[in-house]
Amino acid sequence: MKIESADQDIRNLLSSAYYRIPRFQRPYSWTRENIQDFWDDIVKDAPENYFIGSMVAFRDGKQRFGVVDGQQRLTTITILLAVLRNQLNNLGLVDLAQGIQNLIERKNIENKPEFVLSTESSYPFFQEHILKFGPPEIEPEERREEENLRSAFDLLNGLVSGVVESINADTSVKDDEKKKLAQEKLIKIRNSVLDLKVIFVKLDDEDDAYIIFETLNTRGKDLSLADLVKNHVAKNLKVKSASVDQPKIKWEKLLETLEGSAADLDVDTFIHHFWLSRYDYLAAKRLFKVLKRRVGKNETRSFLDALVTDAALCRAVHEKAFWKWSKQDRRIVEALVALQLFRVQQQTPCVLSLMRCFKETKLKRGHFEDAVVAIEKFHFLFTAVTSQRSSGGISEMYASLGRRLFEAQNTQAAVAVVSELKTKLRGRVPLFDEFRALFPTIVFTDNQTKQRNLLRYILARFQTDSTPSVTIDFDGMTLEHLVPQSQIGSGLFSEDIVGQAGNLLLVPSKLNQKLADKPFKDKKKILTGAGISLPPEFANLNEITPSDIEKRTASLAASAYKKIWKI
């Protein structure tokens, strides 16, 4: 296998050879988002020596190549050049337009015109409607690929037209200077495109080209968001001392903080939540492109410092043992632990900002507690019990409130955001009828253990509410079935009834063996003798019926919704 690779710019690439996209290659499929990102990267940001990756091709004759990898980028670049050609031509700048056309179409060794990039799958649409300099003579049927090509052309044409139109609409520019300014702008875009850098990998054999392509795309894994951010930070923060690499030390501290957590924190997820709590609301897959534009060399140092600081705060809200909480913070810690139990993440940007405000004393303990307890209560009702599907609206709400907390200049502004948070959460609480219907489906038996911890949490909250002045070590408590599980299958005692909250009681672990599978009347004596209060509904009973369990479960549901978890 003979492999040649060289750094080239697009100008040299297009002027030195002809390229064919084989028929069996996937059709052109770039979306509007892909094209907008491409435009933002090469035109809006206008970086120097911008690298767009590798391109793999096999020799298909003298100075002819079949493209195996890179066809989407090469096609998009060609479409943009065609758009620029047309715009220059519309301004009457025919020579400049023809200069671009020479990179799209030129005469071959036989002195016949030939397009530099050819494709079989979209023939003749691509050739007639995009590559050709002049009106098309053929109107071929448009399939999916042709629709994608037209969409790409229209979007790029709109973006380039917008540049020209903005100049024409600028009243500060004299009319006789507008054409010259538009020419300069279009030439600048042209040069940005032609100066793009690519590693061109050439192979003599087509089969070898596909081996290389598969190797590039299947070995290892894509760079993570953390890898990309680390690279961006290293690029912008040059080391001033050979002995002390501060950016590296800070980055390693960030990783140590997150990866050393028992909460199994993901670095990419943290960076996304960090960004949402301070900057724009956007999807994780788009974050790095935006980050590159927003965090330049002047902002990188403070950005890295903020990442390191917030990494510790993120770990604190996910792992109670990591932070030095005081006794007065007990309810805050309980709420944070509950959110981990509910397995929810969308609130994290907001909670991260709340934690930041608390640390910076922009929020006093009482307001911080109000906020996190409201979030806990909401997700108990919304997520843990009714299993509502969290919409993007809730994620965006949390991110928006998190950013406003970050931007709050004083306690008054931060408290106003907390008040709005509670109001918004109240407005999204599920209806009582839905909650009441689903609460009995939370069960725990030896065969159904998935919701054991949730039921321990529920009963612990009930017990704390009934005796708020008494501190109880719930870690040393266990769930006890008042009607033993041995009754399952007898009479009307189904597993779903025996496992309901209405049949459960939190008791010290040391009583577990004594209670065993005894009938309720025997358990009653043991529990009473140990000073354990029975549920009021069962205190005067010697036997519990399925109906008794269902009634107590319904009573617990009503109390939970209307009192204990009411925001």
- Same domain, yes or no: 284 and 329: yes
- The label of the residue with tokens 């296998």 reads 1
- Same domain, yes or no: 400 and 337: yes
Distance from CA of residue 41 to its chain's centroid? 21
Average pLDDT value for the chain: 91
- Same domain, yes or no: 378 and 409: yes
- Same domain, yes or no: 44 and 94: yes
pLDDT in tens, 425-469: 999 999 999 999 999 999 999 999 999 999 999 999 999 888 776
- Same domain, yes or no: 405 and 545: no
Residue 420 near residue 370, CB atoms below 8 Å: no
- Report the pLDDT averaged over residues 348-356: 98
pLDDT in tens, 519-551: 999 999 999 999 898 999 999 999 999 999 999
Percentage of the chain exceeding pLDDT 90: 69
- Same domain, yes or no: 458 and 505: yes
Q: Furthest-apart CA pair in the chain: how many Å?
A: 106
What pLDDT score does 491 carry? Answer: 85
Rounded CA-CA distance 284/7 in Å is 31
Distances (CA, A) of 24 to 20, 27, 67, 233, 530: 11, 9, 11, 41, 78
Number of domains present in the structure of the chain? 3
Q: HEC profile for 403-431?
A: HHHHHCCCHHHHHHHHHHHHHHHHCCCCC
- Same domain, yes or no: 13 and 157: yes
What six digits make up the tokens of 335? 């709420």
What six digits make up the tokens of 98? 């023809």
What pLDDT score does 431 carry? Answer: 95
pLDDT in tens, 462-512: 998 887 766 667 778 899 999 999 999 988 999 999 999 999 999 988 888
- Report the pLDDT averaged over residues 299-303: 95
pLDDT in tens, 23-62: 666 788 899 989 998 998 888 776 777 888 889 899 988 8
pLDDT above 80 (res 216): no
- Same domain, yes or no: 247 and 202: no
Domain holding 495, by residue range, is 435-564
pLDDT above 80 (res 334): yes
What pLDDT score does 217 carry? Answer: 60
Residue with more model confidence, 220 or 172:
172
What pLDDT score does 26 carry? Answer: 74
- Same domain, yes or no: 100 and 197: yes
What pLDDT score does 222 carry? Answer: 63
Residue 85's pLDDT band (cuts 50, 70, 90): very high
* Residue that terminates a domain, selected from 166, 189, 218: 218
CA-nearest of 117, 487, 419, 51 to 127 is: 117
Residue 392's pLDDT band (cuts 50, 70, 90): low
Distances (CA, A) of 526 to 276, 513, 514, 515: 54, 11, 8, 7
- Same domain, yes or no: 65 and 207: yes
- Same domain, yes or no: 155 and 58: yes
Residue 501 near residue 553, CB atoms below 8 Å: yes
What pLDDT score does 437 carry? Answer: 96
pLDDT in tens, 397-409: 999 999 999 999 9
pLDDT above 60 (res 219): no
- Same domain, yes or no: 459 and 383: no
- Report the pLDDT averaged over residues 71-90: 95
Rounded CA-CA distance 70/25 in Å is 11
Residue 396's pLDDT band (cuts 50, 70, 90): very high
Percentage of the chain exceeding pLDDT 70: 94
Rounded CA-CA distance 138/142 in Å is 12
* Residue that terminates a domain, selected from 374, 407, 431: 431
* Residue that terminates a domain, selected from 173, 190, 218: 218
